[in-house]
Amino acid sequence: MAIATAGDGAAATRVSRNEKLVIGASSLGTVFEWYDFYLYGLLAAIISEQFFSGVNETTAFIFALAAFAAGFAVRPFGALVFGRLGDLVGRKHTFLVTMGLMGLSTFVVGLLPSYASIGVAAPVILIALRLIQGLALGGEYGGAATYVAEHAPDDKRGLYTSWIQTTATLGLFAALLVVIGTRTALGEEAFRAWGWRIPFLLSILLLGVSMWIRLQLAESPAFLKMKAEGGTSKAPIAEAFGEWRNLRVVIIALFGAVAGQAVVWYTGQFYALFFLERVLKVDGATANVLIAVALALGTPFFLLFGWLSDRIGRKPIIMVGLALAALTYFPLFSALTAAANPALARAQASAPVVVRADPADCSFQFDPVGRNRFDARSCDVAKAFLAKASVSYDNLPAPTGATASVRVGNAVIPAPDQAALAGPARKAAIDSFNARTAAALAAVGYPDKADPATVNKPLVVAILFVLVLYVTMVYGPIAALLVELFPTRIRYTSMSLPYHIGNGWFGGFLPTTAFAMVAAKGNIYYGLWYPIVVATATLVIGLLFLPETRGQDVVEH
């Protein structure tokens, strides 16, 4: 072993024998935390029904995604709090605390009454629990990655830490299996009514097992060596972010590696799932199975690229992954539409939908208050219906003051002139417009949902696998890279903040941002511009400023 407590050969032998325990225990605990965190994302559609039923459907779903993202928003703050503790008191005790917070918060979600039972208190409590989960996760990853890296030989650090990188995908995979199993056992109706709680409640058992396993671990040898020599930092936050030589590295890590890695990760493993279920209208159970198969096929590649980064370097693999993602997202998601809902793809090609309206008459189709029904103006009525139906459309300007209309193929349906209507007459006019537009869409082949018999499942899995493969390229080597960028005394704090700003903000807000962009512009692929722009910017910054770290001594560094 390259790392051992100074002057203690017996300790070195023990560490060598315990490498598998270190990797296994650290990884298992982190799998559990990701399982907890991603249950919410998998059940976003049901969560929107249970806890945000007081608003319109489109806004409710975006709110559900926003609550999902709320847990990501506070991850950098968790990184600061728990990163500081990890550098002051040690890696092991800190990630035991974060695991307890995560597990208990997840269990309580399974007990939380719905909006119908306790009103607005339900979403408020839910978001509070998500915030606790986010804080806990903000402290977990840095601790686990640092702990494993500080046990690893210099020439195997990429491989060893890549096991930690599999945990997010394995946690998602475990959550998918539990959700699929519960859905299958109870049936869709019972699952949507109450069965969705079971995966959350099961987390209490996983918490007990994971806590017991992690209690068997000893502290990181690099931390013990540093502590014995009196080298621990007395003010990790001030040293990490108050000194330019360290802050500069934090900024480069964020914008030259992690931001792009984050958007590729969430596009490949979450946005793809939401796109299948919400936009392409593949039923939830089928979408979960398809993404689960792709994840199972792709997960070993985390280890492959971690191992390869020990041979050729961390930076080249991450940069190639970013470039491939930015170049191929549009054709891949277009192919996904054709494979998962071929009727929709044919209808979009043969009978494109066009909204012709005065631009001043059109609102942004996302209401932060949650009470706007988008029925005050003709353009809003037209776009609200199409957004709810997940129909892609083009926008054409109309003369100032003109009433909006929707063209479906050769049919033109004028939207209600709201200025001339009020009360029941307005509602009747909107209902009539919606019915005529739905009939026009059906007449040219737009489906209400994906036909299970026409879903090309092997091709869908192949496309999803490619998206997951990009994830493994950018994510497999990232832990080793971050650990090697920073000195031992402030490593936990320094690496945790850019990691969680990148994954918590750039990545965590991706589903919410992308769907809001789609709702605003009308094009079902428009949200892809978000990950493409971020990945491209990260690629450029990384190529120019990110150093190669392979072979760096993480004890002396």
Does one domain contain both 304 and 374?
no
Q: CATH code at 384? A: 3.40.30
Does one domain contain both 438 and 457?
no
Does one domain contain both 334 and 395?
no
Q: What is the DSSP letter of 407?
A: E
SS (H, E, C) 435-500: HHHHHHHHHCCCCCCCCHHHCCHHHHHHHHHHHHHHHHHHHCCHHHHHHHHCCHHHHHHHHHHHHH
Q: Is the pLDDT of residue 5 over 50?
A: no
Does one domain contain both 466 and 435?
no
At CA 274, angle to CA 51 and CA 299, rounded to 5?
120
Q: How many domains in the chain?
A: 2
* Dihedral (CA of 501, 502, 503, 508) sign: positive
Of the three residues 395, 422, 443, the one that is the final residue of a domain is: 443
Residue 554 lies in a domain: no
CA distance 70 to 57: 20
- φ, ψ of residue 397 to 5 degrees: the values are -75, 145
Residue span of the structural domain in which 299 resides? 9-341+451-545
CA distance 353 to 395: 9
Q: Is the pLDDT of residue 33 over 90?
A: no
- φ, ψ of residue 56 to 5 degrees: the values are -65, 160
Confidence of residue 372 (pLDDT cuts 50, 70, 90): very low
Q: Mean pLDDT throughout 45-49?
A: 78
Confidence of residue 154 (pLDDT cuts 50, 70, 90): confident
**Separation in Å, CA 42 to CA 38, 39, 79:** 6, 5, 24
Cβ–Cβ < 8 Å for 44, 64? yes
Confidence of residue 148 (pLDDT cuts 50, 70, 90): confident
Q: Of 394-403, 471-480, 528-537, give the lowest mean pLDDT range.
A: 394-403
Q: Is the pLDDT of residue 229 over 80?
A: no
Residue 264 lies in a domain: yes
Does one domain contain both 280 and 331?
yes
Q: What is the DSSP letter of 22?
A: H
- φ, ψ of residue 461 to 5 degrees: the values are -60, -40
User: Ranked by mean pLDDT, which of 78-92, 362-376, 463-477 comes out on top?
Assistant: 463-477
- pLDDT, one tens digit per residue, over 513-530 is 887 788 778 889 999 999
**Separation in Å, CA 148 to CA 121, 143, 162, 197, 358:** 41, 9, 10, 33, 59
**Residue whose C-alpha is closest to residue 436's, from 457, 411, 454, 458:** 411
Q: Is the pLDDT of residue 3 over 60?
A: no
Confidence of residue 263 (pLDDT cuts 50, 70, 90): very high
- pLDDT, one tens digit per residue, over 488-513 is 777 777 888 888 888 878 887 787 78
Confidence of residue 62 (pLDDT cuts 50, 70, 90): low
Residue 133 lies in a domain: yes
Q: Is the pLDDT of residue 465 over 90?
A: yes
Confidence of residue 532 (pLDDT cuts 50, 70, 90): very high
Does one domain contain both 270 and 357?
no
- Sorted by sequence, the CB contacts under 8 Å of residue 148 that are 6+ apart come out as 22, 23, 26, 27, 160, 161, 163, 164, 479
pLDDT at res. 2: 37
Distance spanning both ends of the chain, measured CA to CA: 17
pLDDT at res. 8: 43
pLDDT at res. 102: 80
- φ, ψ of residue 408 to 5 degrees: the values are -120, 105
| Chain center to CA of 432 | 39
- pLDDT, one tens digit per residue, over 71-128 is 777 878 887 777 777 666 666 677 778 878 888 888 898 899 988 888 878 888 888 8
pLDDT at res. 528: 96
User: Ranked by mean pLDDT, which of 110-114, 166-170, 411-415, 542-546 comes out on top?
Assistant: 542-546
Residue 347 lies in a domain: no
Q: CATH code at 329? A: 1.20.1250.20
pLDDT at res. 336: 97
Does one domain contain both 336 and 358?
no
CA distance 475 to 105: 27
Full DSSP string of 410-429: TEEEEPP-GGG--HHHHHHH
Does one domain contain both 132 and 24?
yes
Confidence of residue 230 (pLDDT cuts 50, 70, 90): low
Q: Give the predicted TM-score (pTM) of the model.
A: 0.80
Does one domain contain both 294 and 326?
yes
pLDDT at res. 46: 83
> Strand, helix or coil at 317?
helix
Bigger pLDDT: 481 or 221? 481
- Sorted by sequence, the CB contacts under 8 Å of residue 533 that are 6+ apart come out as none
Does one domain contain both 477 and 419?
no
Cβ–Cβ < 8 Å for 276, 449? no
pLDDT at res. 317: 97
Radius of gyration of the chain (CA): 25
- pLDDT, one tens digit per residue, over 276-332 is 988 899 998 899 889 989 988 999 999 999 999 999 999 999 999 999 999 999 999
- pLDDT, one tens digit per residue, over 408-427 is 988 999 988 766 666 677 78
Full DSSP string of 254-271: IIIIIHHHHHHHHIIIII
Q: Of 62-76, 144-158, 234-248, 393-407, give the lowest mean pLDDT range.
A: 62-76
Residue 551 lies in a domain: no
Does one domain contain both 483 and 431?
no
Does one domain contain both 69 and 85?
yes
CA distance 114 to 340: 33
